[in-house]
Structures are given as structure tokens and as C-alpha cells.
Structure 1
């Protein structure tokens, strides 16, 4: 799997740019705030129609422009795909694959899979549960179209239910619709828990070995999926999870009405990371938690390769500069095979990197493209 070509119009600070890429290593360098991360963000957007930095698509469009555009040529599954995304300020985005309009972002699943690793991910273990949910959601959405659809619908229902709980005392008639929203949230929530639990199981098969290799066998990494208390077996059937969610909703009904908050559902789930049986978030050192985060990301890459038979496109956004020499070497040794994009400010620090192509970025413009 590889991205051959990318074209941008009015995306972030790029008014227009076209670039062709090397099938292995692509080094993107330049000073800070010139557009290096924006380039990787555009690539990642083509894989899932989501940005890791923006909540709304309008944030991706160049200031004072009505639209932004991303187009990529991708070799995947022994075919060539032309993926396009038109971002509209104030309107719904439009997605195409080989000229066919896509109804949902989930239809992008499996065409271009990417693993993005940025400096913020090094704090994945120490952050709140929402960061780890985003990690799980971003990974699963690229592999499972039904998961992406279920997640989008659950989030829509969650927003509606939140408004009901917030306003019901001023408008009691809103409670007439609460049971229907609870039922549908339990239906979609059960699918979300099912997919997340099985993906965490796959992570648990890959990440501990990577972490053990990195730590020289001195530490044992453990992963556990934590969801609502009534779900005894997250790996069980969707029907069993659904029934358990209904029980949890009923037991929390009064508390939700009193607090005016949605307290029941997978929007509170967490991926618990442990080192030698203890919470990595509470007891792990900075070095240990960084190593654990690296292991999760590299495990994600392994799972994608197993699922699709092809290495995903790896996007390393200035992450190597945040690592010590040992961790840099470990990451570089682990990314043999597949296409890689690496951003940095000082390319000479990566002189030992495999040969490929380099791109100098300045002010939303590619000043040079050359083989290295």
C-alpha cells in the first residue's frame, strides 16, 4: 500500500500543491509552522475523513476560502484508487473513490490505511481516557466500515440525549423521547464495545512482545478494556452487551436526570495500560509511558498489516526529535517495509535513514523535491 501522489487546494496553509512520493521513505523538512504537519494531516484525512487536530472540517480550509480540496492516488489491494475529499465551509463534505461519490466515511475503510504518530501520542498513557478512546476509534474506523457508521450514529444520539438531559426541567415533554434515545444508544453502543474489545484483544497479542523487546525483557506490558460495569464480557455477543447496557441505563436513570448528564455508555470507556501489573498512568515513569505508547502504535501497524496483507502508510510527525537515541533506533528498526513519511526540522540528523525522497517545505510551498 502506498500513496503515489497528493494534490491540495486551499488546505490549511497550502493554496495549491502537487507532490509525487517515493514508495519507501519520504522526508519532509523545514522550519516550524511552515506546513509539514499539514501535509501529513491531509494524507491521514484521506484514510478516514478525520483530522487528529481539528474537530470540524472548516478548520482545515484556508482562511477566507469557501472550500478546500484533497486528492490522492493510492495503490492498494492490487488496484489504483483516486481518493478525493471536498471540504465545504458550512456544508457537508463530499468524498469520492475512483469518481464514485461515497455515502459515508466508513466506505474509505481499507483503501488507504495510515498509522500517524505525533509528539502528543507520547503522552497517550498519561492523558485522560478520551485520548485512548480516540486512539482506538481512529484505528478501528480504518478497518471496519460498520464501526465507523455505528460510532457516528452513537455520537449523534449522545448529543441529542445530552440536550434532553440538560433542558428537561425547563421543558418536561422532552422526557417523552428519552426511552427511545436510550434504546438506540444501547443498540449502537453494544456494537462499539464489541469492536473495541476485540481490537484491544488484538493489541494484547502484539504490543507486549514489542514492549518486551524494547525494554530488554525487563517489563511486562498488560492491556485491559474497561467499559460499563454491567457488561461482564466485552468479548461476548452484541446481544448480551446490548441487554447489559439497558440494565446500566436503567440503574443510572435517576442520576442522569439529577445531574443533567449522560452517565451511561461506551463514551466513558478506557484502555487500561499496566506495567508489571501496575497502572502505567499512575506509576510509570516518563520513559516507561513513552515506551508503552510507542508499543501501542507499532502494534497498531502490525495489526493493519495482518488485516490487509499490506503495510499501512506510516506517518511520523516530528516524533523522532522527541525521543532519545535508543528509542529513535528502536522505531527506525521496526519500520522496515512499507511507505513512511517523516517530518523534521533538521534532516541531517536522520542521515542513517534509508534512501528515498526529500521535500523542503516553506510557507505552504514545496521548495524542492529530490531523491536522497
Structure 2
């Protein structure tokens, strides 16, 4: 699978843009601020319906415009389909396939898959737990697009439950009984446990599948490392019976996990009422990353942290590739962050991908193994080099 053509309208810095791409390696080269990352961000947005750079849609729409349109022709098994997303900040986005409207934008998920390497990846190992939860959830959506609905439902239930907890807390402080809020809370407890159990089950299985791939990838990108050096353990917000070593265990059925979440919600109810906040569930979990016996966060060097971040992305690529078509591989300004040795190692590992899209400020940063079509990006213009 590969993207053959990209068309933009009022996306980021581009009033309009038309770019023919094709399989193999394509590089977009230009100084910072010229719009090269915007091009690959648009393709990634079609894949995930979110940006790897910002959390909201509003920055994706060119200043002064009310909406943005991203359209791409995708080739899979010699069949061509045109995917389109209309980005409407504050309103529902609209999606089309071959100009035919889809009932919901999320039906685009899974039609094109991407794996993005970017400077922001360092937050996966050095940042807050939310970065690692998002990494797992975004990858699960690529593996199974229906997971996006489960995650969205969980977020809605969590928001409603937090609102009820705050109402109950204020009632208690005002001397009221808050019985109405507490009785309603029981209904939301059951739904939170049901959805939370499914998310836990899927995340735990993903970590089990991903761990050996991360070890293999870390050995490939870190000098002198072995595949046993890099480790991952999923840490839930509650003690799960039968999951003492979460990274290696198979998933349990959702029902027992839901029962455990419900029991923990009941146990933590006084604390939750005091704080007006849900303290149990996958929204408070973390993915613990380690090198040997030490956690990566706080102990690994800058080079080791970068190698681990690269290993996470390479493992994601290998996992998706094993499930079917090659994802579109996006290397967004990463070579400037790597020394010559890691550049060459990364290039060797990805050179056989069906499609690799690269952005770089300096063309010389791109390794010889990844020399392909090159576009110069300057002043809002995307020009194919001779």
C-alpha cells in the first residue's frame, strides 16, 4: 500500500497543494517553517484522524479559513481509492471515499496506516504516562479500527462519572446527602468497568506482542545492545489478580477484569468522593520502560532514550507489517537528532519499506540508503528536484 497523490486545501500553511508521490523513498527538504512537516502530517491525519503534533484540530486549519481538506489517492493491490477528510474545528468532520460521503469520519480508520518517527517521540520515554497510553491506544486503532469507538465511549463515560463525583463532593460540603448523584454513579461504574476491562485486555495483549519486537529493534539501533536489554511492563491502576507480570501474560476475558475494576471502584469510593475524580481505570495506567534493571525515564542517557523511542516505532511498524500491508513509514525530521551511526542503522532497517516519506532541513542528513525522489519545500511551494 502507498499514497500516490496528496491534495491539500487550507491545511496548515497551504492554501492549496498538489503533490505526486509514489512508492519507494520520497524526501521533502527545506528550512524549518517552510511547511515540509505539514505534508506528512496530513497523510498521518488520514490514517489516525489526529495529529502527532497537536491535540486539537483548530491549528490544522489555515488562518482565516473555516475548514481544511486533505485528500489522498491510495494504491492497494493495484486498486486506487481517493480518501478525503474535511476538518471542521468545533463541528463534526466529514469523510469521503471516491467522493461518496461516509456516515462517520472514523470509517476512514484502517484504510491507510502510518507509522511516524518524529522528534516528539522522545516524550514516549521521558514524558508523562499519558504519552505512553496514547502510544498504545493509537497503535491499537491501527491494528483494529473498532478500538477507536471503545476508547471514545470510555472517555465519555469517564467525563460523566467525574462530573457526578464533583456534584456529590459539592453536595457533601454543602451538607446535602448527594444520594441522587451516588445512585446514578452506580450505573456509570458498571459501564466504566465494562469498557475499562476491554481497554485493559487489549493493551495487555498489545504489550505482550510488542515486547519481543522492541527488544529486537533496540538491539538493531543501539550499539552493543542485546535484545534482552529493553523491557516493557504494563502497570495498571489496580492490582490485577493473575497479572503479576503483566508484560508476558495472555489476556483475561473482559468479565473477570470488569469485576476487579468494580471492586476497586467500591474500595476507592471514599477517596474519589473526597477528590471528585475517578481514581481507578486505564486512564491512570502506565507503560514502564526499562533498560536492564533500571527504568529508562530518569536513568537512560539521551542516546539510549532516542534508541528506545526508535525501537518503539520500529516495533510498531513490524507489528503492523506482520498483519498485512506495509504501513506508510514517515521519518519526520529525525535524522538531525541522530548521529551518523544511528542514521545508517535506521536507514538499513527501513529501506525495504513499500513507501518511506522523509522530511529534513538539510538534504545531506538523509543517508545514502534512502536517496530517492526529492522535493524542495520553500515559500509554500513544493517543487520536484531534477
TM-score range, shorter chain: over 0.9
Report the secondary structure of 2:112's partner residue: coil
2:229 to 220, 230, 239: 220
Q: Which residue of 2 aligns with 1:186?
A: 193
Choose 341-350 or 74-83, whichever is displaced more.
74-83
| Partner Cα separation in structure 1 for residue 161 and residue 385 of structure 2 | 53
Q: In 2, Cα distance between the equivalents of 1:174 and 1:65?
A: 43
Please give the alpha-carbon distance, in whole angstroms, between the structure 1 residues aligned to 2:330 and 2:3.
Answer: 12
Deviations 1:214-257 (A, max 9, x none): 33345611111111323233621111111111111111111111
Does the aligned pair in 2 maintain the 1:358–1:370 contact within 8 Å? yes
Describe how 1:19-38 pairs up with structure 2 within 5 A.
19-38=19-38
| Equivalent residue, structure 2, for 1:132 | 132
- Picking from 332, 335, 340, the partner of 2:356 is 340
**After the TM superposition, which of the residue ranges 158-167 and 119-128 deviates more from structure 2?**
158-167
1:207 corresponds to which of 209, 214, 230: 214
Q: What is the CA distance between 1:176 and its match in structure 2?
A: 3.6
* Greater CA drift, 40-49 or 177-186: 177-186
Unaligned runs of 5+ in 2: 172-177
> Over residues 325-344 of structure 1, what are the superposed CA-to-partner deviations in whole Å (9 max), with x where a residue is unaligned?
11111111110222111111
- 1:41-120 map, 5 Å: 41-77=41-77, 79-120=79-120
Q: Distance in 1 between matches of 2:101 and 2:17?
A: 23
Contact 2:351/2:369 (CA < 8 Å) preserved in 1?
no
Alignment of 1:220-299 (within 5 A): 220-232=229-241, 233=243, 235-299=251-315
Q: Give the whole-Å Cα distance in 2 for the aligned partners of 1:217 and 1:57.
A: 40
8 A contact 2:166–2:276 mirrored in 1: yes
Give secondary structure in 1 for the equivalent of 2:375.
Answer: strand
Between stretches 344-353 and 136-145, larger displacement belongs to 344-353
Partner of 2:310, secondary structure, is helix
1:283 Cα deviation after fit: 2.2
Distance 1:89 1:108, change over 3 A: closer
Aligned to 2:345: 330
Per-residue deviation, residues 95-127 of structure 1 (Å, max 9, x unmatched): 123344334454333321100111020242111
1:301 aligns with 2:325: no
- CA–CA distance in structure 2, aligned partners of residues 315 and 161 of structure 1: 38
| Contact residue 12 and residue 62 of structure 1 kept, 8 A | yes
Q: What is the rounded CA distance, in whole Å, between the counterparts of 2:194 and 2:102 in structure 1? A: 25
Distance 1:294 1:354, change over 3 A: closer
Q: Distance in 1 between matches of 2:53 and 2:219?
A: 31
Q: Which runs of 5+ in 1 are unaligned?
A: none
Q: Secondary structure at the match of 1:91?
A: coil
In 2, Cα distance between equivalents of 1:18 and 1:167: 52
Q: Is the 8 A contact 2:161 2:278 kept in 1?
A: yes
Off by >6 Å, runs of 4+ in structure 1? none
Secondary structure of residue in 1 paired with 2:370: coil
TM-score (norm 2): 0.90
- Say whether residues 1:316 and 2:331 are aligned partners: yes
Query: How many residues are treated as equivalent by the alignment?
Result: 369
Contact 2:49 2:109 (8 Å CA) reproduced:
no
Q: How far does residue 133 in structure 1 lie from its aligned partner after superposition?
A: 0.8
- TM-score, length basis structure 1: 0.94
SS of aligned partner of 1:26: strand
Distance in 2 between residues matched to 1:364 and 1:181, nearest whole Å:
49
Shift of 1:62: 1.1
